[in-house]
């Protein structure tokens, strides 16, 4: 038996004759690229671009679109760049003047001017709101449509709060679609954001972020420093809820941007304070270029945005969400309930992927484009 098996193993199986492939190599690579891209888009649907510029903004454009881009690059873009830089420099000078002879608040390795009082605070806030809205206007957001939901999101008796528990929300919770979200919220409520620590060192923007009262965090850090920042955020939310003169916090609990059609899982850090939250939904409508900053590079996104004459934004503000006792005891439940409500009101699809998957998707697309 062993000798028979050895004889069988010594004889390699007969291979079928190779089928000649007369297809051009370029066509073969394109076919593979298309099939791989389709598979990636199904898996990472929250980050897929669906505008005329295609995947990562590198799609093949029709002749008309190329002509429009060319005209905008030499006419519209220079005007917008000069106007935007002028506004940025002007607001920096305003912040510089208002912070002269003023000592910043230094606590828990943070530094900000958010607790300025008197005329300094009024000038910084009011000028910040006006100039942020003007910046959006320059970028093509001439009209921003607002809608407000009046129904109570916690309709059952268990979730109804007592009158003494009522108060202003300590934090604004918003979906995250683009860096333009920050400009809108600044123009509307001038809140404090959570930003990367490197932002504080940027020219012009660094001082402006300190006047906003940004809380700086090392994004990749999972050490005690990260836990300390979480405690600072929680305390600031509680302070904003108790004190109407304190700056309200603004959080994007998804942790990254999407294409606006999906809502990622919420991080529970913004719900640890047990304070009421104000859910706000941002939606960018488009015909040619999507303002969503999902899988496209920052430079390419800015150029295409500046080339688009009109951009559209729709904002839906939900009623203040007051947590039930059960939600106060379980911040993850609180976060998930707010997320479910926002997805329902904003017609968004709940997704279970996050920042790690986004990086995998971008790396995979870069790999595919490098093969072409």
Sign of CA dihedral 341, 347, 349, 354: negative
Widest Cα–Cα separation across the chain: 99
Sign of CA dihedral 335, 341, 344, 345: negative
Q: Which residues contact 170 (CB under 8 A, 6 or more apart)?
A: 236, 237, 238, 239, 240, 241, 248, 249, 273, 275, 276, 277
> Is residue 201 situated within a structural domain?
yes
Residue pair 212/200 in contact by the 8 Å Cβ criterion: no
> Is residue 157 situated within a structural domain?
no
Between CA 308 and CA 229 the distance in angstroms is 38
> What domain count does the chain have?
1
Residue pair 314/78 in contact by the 8 Å Cβ criterion: no
> Is residue 139 situated within a structural domain?
yes
Helix (H, G, I), strand (E, B) or coil at 194: strand
> Is residue 160 situated within a structural domain?
no
Residue pair 315/86 in contact by the 8 Å Cβ criterion: no
CA distances from 185 to 179, 259, 347, 369 (A): 11, 18, 21, 35
Structure-block tokens of residue 55:
């995947």
CA distances from 342 to 87, 175, 313 (A): 33, 8, 17
Helix (H, G, I), strand (E, B) or coil at 324: coil
Query: Using only C-alpha atoms, what is the Rg of the chain?
Result: 26
Supply the range of the domain harboring residue 105.
50-151+167-370
pLDDT at 320: 94
> Is residue 318 situated within a structural domain?
yes
Between CA 172 and CA 167 the distance in angstroms is 14
CA dihedral of residues 3, 9, 11, 13 (deg, nearest 10): 150
Tens digit of pLDDT at every position of the chain (372 positions): 444 444 444 444 455 555 444 444 434 444 444 556 778 888 899 999 989 998 888 888 889 889 999 999 999 999 999 999 999 999 999 999 999 988 887 776 678 888 888 999 999 999 999 999 999 999 999 999 999 987 654 444 445 554 445 778 999 999 999 999 999 999 999 999 998 888 988 999 999 999 999 998 876 555 545 556 788 899 999 999 998 888 899 999 999 999 999 999 999 989 999 999 999 999 999 989 999 998 898 999 999 999 999 999 999 999 999 999 999 999 999 999 999 999 999 999 999 999 999 999 988 888 876 665
> Is residue 35 situated within a structural domain?
no
Q: SS3 for 202-254, per residue?
A: CCCHHHHHHHHCCEEECCCCCCHHHHHHHHHHHHHHHHHHHCCCCCCEEECCC
> Is residue 235 situated within a structural domain?
yes
N-to-C CA span, the chain: 53
In the block, tokens 């010594």 appear at 10
Structure-block tokens of residue 176:
């995250």
> Is residue 174 situated within a structural domain?
yes
Structure-block tokens of residue 248:
């309200």
């Amino acid at each position: 038996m062993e000798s028979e098996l050895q004889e069988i193993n010594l004889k390699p199986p007969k291979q079928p004759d190779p089928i000649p492939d007369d297809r051009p190599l370029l066509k073969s690579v394109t076919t593979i690229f298309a099939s791989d891209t389709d598979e990636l888009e199904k898996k990472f649907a929250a980050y897929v671009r669906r505008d005329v510029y295609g995947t990562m903004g590198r799609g093949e454009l029709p002749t008309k679109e190329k002509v429009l881009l060319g005209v905008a690059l030499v006419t519209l873009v220079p005007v917008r760049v000069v106007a935007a830089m002028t506004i940025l420099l002007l607001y920096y000078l305003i912040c510089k003047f208002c912070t002269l002879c003023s000592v910043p608040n230094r606590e828990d390795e943070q530094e900000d001017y958010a607790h300025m009082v008197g005329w300094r605070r009024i000038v910084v806030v009011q000028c910040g709101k006006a100039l942020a809205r003007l910046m959006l206007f320059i970028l093509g957001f001439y009209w921003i449509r607002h809608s407000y939901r009046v129904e109570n999101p916690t309709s059952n008796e268990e979730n109804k709060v007592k009158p003494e528990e009522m108060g202003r929300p300590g934090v604004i919770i918003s979906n995250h679609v683009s860096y333009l979200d920050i400009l809108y919220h600044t123009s509307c409520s001038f809140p404090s954001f959570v930003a990367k620590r490197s932002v504080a060192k940027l020219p012009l923007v660094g001082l402006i972020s300190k006047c906003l009262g940004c809380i700086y965090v090392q994004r990749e850090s999972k050490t005690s420093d990260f836990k300390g920042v979480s405690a600072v955020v929680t305390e600031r939310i509680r302070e904003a809820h108790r004190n109407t003169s304190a700056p309200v916090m603004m959080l994007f609990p998804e942790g990254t941007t999407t294409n606006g059609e999906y809502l990622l899982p919420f991080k529970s850090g913004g719900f640890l304070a047990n304070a009421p939250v104000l859910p706000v939904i941002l939606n960018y409508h488009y015909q040619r270029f999507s303002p969503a900053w999902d899988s496209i590079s920052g430079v390419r996104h800015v150029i295409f945005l500046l080339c688009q004459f009109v951009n559209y934004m729709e904002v839906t503000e939900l009623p203040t969400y007051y947590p039930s006792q059960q939600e106060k005891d379980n911040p993850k439940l609180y976060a998930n309930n707010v997320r479910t409500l926002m997805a329902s009101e904003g017609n968004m699809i709940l997704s279970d992927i996050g920042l790690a998957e986004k990086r995998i998707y971008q790396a995979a697309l870069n790999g595919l484009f490098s093969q072409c």
